[in-house]
């Protein structure tokens, strides 16, 4: 994978040439700590802290008038966040809204787009998806009186870590009404070809949705151009909105005017909302798919966080992310080739998301040892170590340090003192 030996001098030169390096100063980082879990929860930035504190000040100074008179008016915050998010996913502003959580948004869009008839009664997903998505699908099938055992089809994985796009396309039969897939597989980091899959599904008359939890903020998308029908995501990973940060959703403009499957107070056209009529007049944009009152305090940090992405540029973020993960894999090849580790994620840039997945039979105990060495990794059952170097706040030298800490742990069997089982939160 690499010809010349990677040294500390090598990575320091990369940091010196890195034009995104300045963004490290925007985040609260601990000295001599290495945070490699930004694909689970991103770190706090000073901008996000500022916009959260501004929301509190608006509440303090304006009370209920904060909905329209605050520095960050709450009544329009979800739409503003949608506009700020749209460039990251190749969407038009009116196609995006920040609201709810990833799972409630998925329930909303499944309720909106899954309309089984006499021919199409099945949903196509995969066996590697995050459990919450499958729970939602099964719930929606049952609400239609359909048995998930018969009406949920999950594409199988040949290796337990990745999916074949050809296998996905092969499963697109005439009884499939809707397809839901992750853009990046959470366990292995595989990036699927959204455009290819969407095109193939539409040729079969199938509605297409994607879960962008592990891709938004890590790489660019072109959802409008590709014709994706809908997408959902969380914002607390790569977008750094904070624990439980507000979710987001995309609905392609070709579906403008479609009635939300789950109507609620904030589904309304904003000009009509306070008419208090009992017949819903939905918003004529993605706002129609909101349900309840926006969660202002978990939305406000995203205002500041998204500013950083606009300044950095999502293309630059992706370029550095690929460099960081490539460096990590090259160092594994150079320094840890006989340590019992196997790289589970695709090696090719076009098929890799923002994290590296390593397989080891003692992955859980290795992760515990890493934490005691001031490295924060992520363990995924049964045997995966996930390491996510984040473009906005991880340096190339950070990656270098982490790889040598990992080497020391395995070569000197430091992990043997820990039980090889996950904690309550992996």
- 26, 412 in Cβ contact below 8 A? no
Fold of 49-311: 3.40.640
The segments of the chain whose pLDDT lies below 70 read 1-2, 426
Q: Count helices and strands (H / E) in the chain.
A: 14, 13
The answer on whether 236 is annotated among ligand-binding residues is yes
Pick the CATH number of 8-31+313-417 from 1.10.1520.10, 3.30.70.270, 3.40.50.300, 3.90.1150.10: 3.90.1150.10
DSSP E strand stretches across 169-238:
176-182, 207-211, 230-233
The answer on whether 389 is annotated among ligand-binding residues is no
What pLDDT, on a 0 to 100 scale, did the predictor assign at position 65? 97
Residues 366-414 pLDDT 10s: 999 999 999 999 999 899 999 999 999 999 999 999 999 999 999 999 9
The answer on whether 89 is annotated among ligand-binding residues is no
What pLDDT, on a 0 to 100 scale, did the predictor assign at position 258? 93
Catalytic machinery residues: 130, 211, 236-237, 386
What pLDDT, on a 0 to 100 scale, did the predictor assign at position 1? 46
The answer on whether 396 is annotated among ligand-binding residues is no
Q: How far apart are CA 308 and CA 311, in angstroms?
A: 5
- 186, 161 in Cβ contact below 8 A? no
Tokens 């199938």 belong to which residue?
A: 206
What pLDDT, on a 0 to 100 scale, did the predictor assign at position 426? 67
- 352, 322 in Cβ contact below 8 A? yes
What pLDDT, on a 0 to 100 scale, did the predictor assign at position 276? 85
What pLDDT, on a 0 to 100 scale, did the predictor assign at position 108? 98
What pLDDT, on a 0 to 100 scale, did the predictor assign at position 67? 96
What pLDDT, on a 0 to 100 scale, did the predictor assign at position 52? 98
Q: How far apart are CA 125 and CA 155, in angstroms?
A: 6
Structural domain spans, the chain: 8-31+313-417, 49-311
């Amino acid at each position: 994978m690499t010809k010349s030996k990677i040294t500390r001098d090598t990575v320091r030169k990369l940091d010196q040439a890195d034009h995104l390096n300045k963004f490290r100063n925007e985040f609260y980082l601990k000295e001599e700590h290495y945070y490699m879990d930004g694909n689970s929860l991103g770190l706090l930035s000073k901008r996000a802290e500022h916009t959260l504190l501004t929301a509190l000040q608006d509440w303090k100074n304006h009370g209920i008038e904060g909905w329209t008179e605050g520095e960050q008016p709450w009544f329009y915050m979800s739409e503003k966040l949608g506009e700020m998010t749209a460039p990251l996913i190749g969407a038009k502003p009116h196609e995006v809204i920040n609201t709810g959580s990833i799972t409630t948004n998925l329930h909303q869009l499944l309720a909106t787009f899954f309309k089984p008839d006499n021919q199409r009664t099945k949903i196509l997903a995969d066996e590697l998806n995050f459990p919450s998505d499958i729970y939602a699908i099964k719930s929606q099938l049952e609400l239609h009186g359909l048995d998930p055992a018969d009406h949920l089809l999950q594409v199988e994985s040949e290796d337990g870590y990745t999916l074949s796009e050809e296998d996905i396309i092969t499963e697109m039969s005439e009884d499939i009404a809707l397809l839901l897939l992750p853009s990046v597989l959470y366990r292995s980091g595989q990036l699927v070809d959204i455009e290819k899959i969407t095109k193939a599904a539409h040729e079969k008359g199938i509605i297409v949705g994607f879960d962008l939890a592990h891709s938004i903020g890590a790489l660019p998308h072109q959802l409008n151009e590709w014709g994706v029908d809908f997408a959902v995501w969380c914002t607390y990973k790569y977008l750094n909105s904070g624990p439980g940060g507000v979710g987001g959703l995309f609905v392609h403009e070709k579906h403008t005017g479609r009635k939300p499957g789950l109507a609620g107070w904030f589904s309304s056209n904003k000009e009509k909302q306070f008419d208090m009529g009992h017949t819903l007049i939905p918003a004529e944009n993605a706002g129609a798919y909101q349900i309840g009152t926006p969660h202002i305090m978990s939305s406000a940090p995203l205002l500041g966080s998204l500013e950083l992405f606009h300044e950095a540029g999502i293309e630059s973020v992706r370029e550095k992310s690929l460099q960081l993960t490539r460096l990590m894999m090259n160092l594994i090849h150079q320094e840890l080739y006989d340590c019992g580790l196997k790289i589970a994620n695709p090696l090719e840039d076009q098929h890799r998301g923002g994290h590296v997945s390593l397989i080891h039979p003692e992955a859980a105990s290795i992760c515990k040892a890493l934490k005691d060495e001031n490295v924060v990794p992520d363990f995924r059952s049964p045997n995966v170590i996930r390491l996510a170097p984040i473009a906005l706040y991880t340096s190339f030298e950070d990656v270098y340090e982490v790889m040598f800490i990992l080497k020391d742990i395995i070569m000197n069997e430091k992990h043997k003192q820990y039980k090889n089982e996950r904690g309550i939160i992996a």
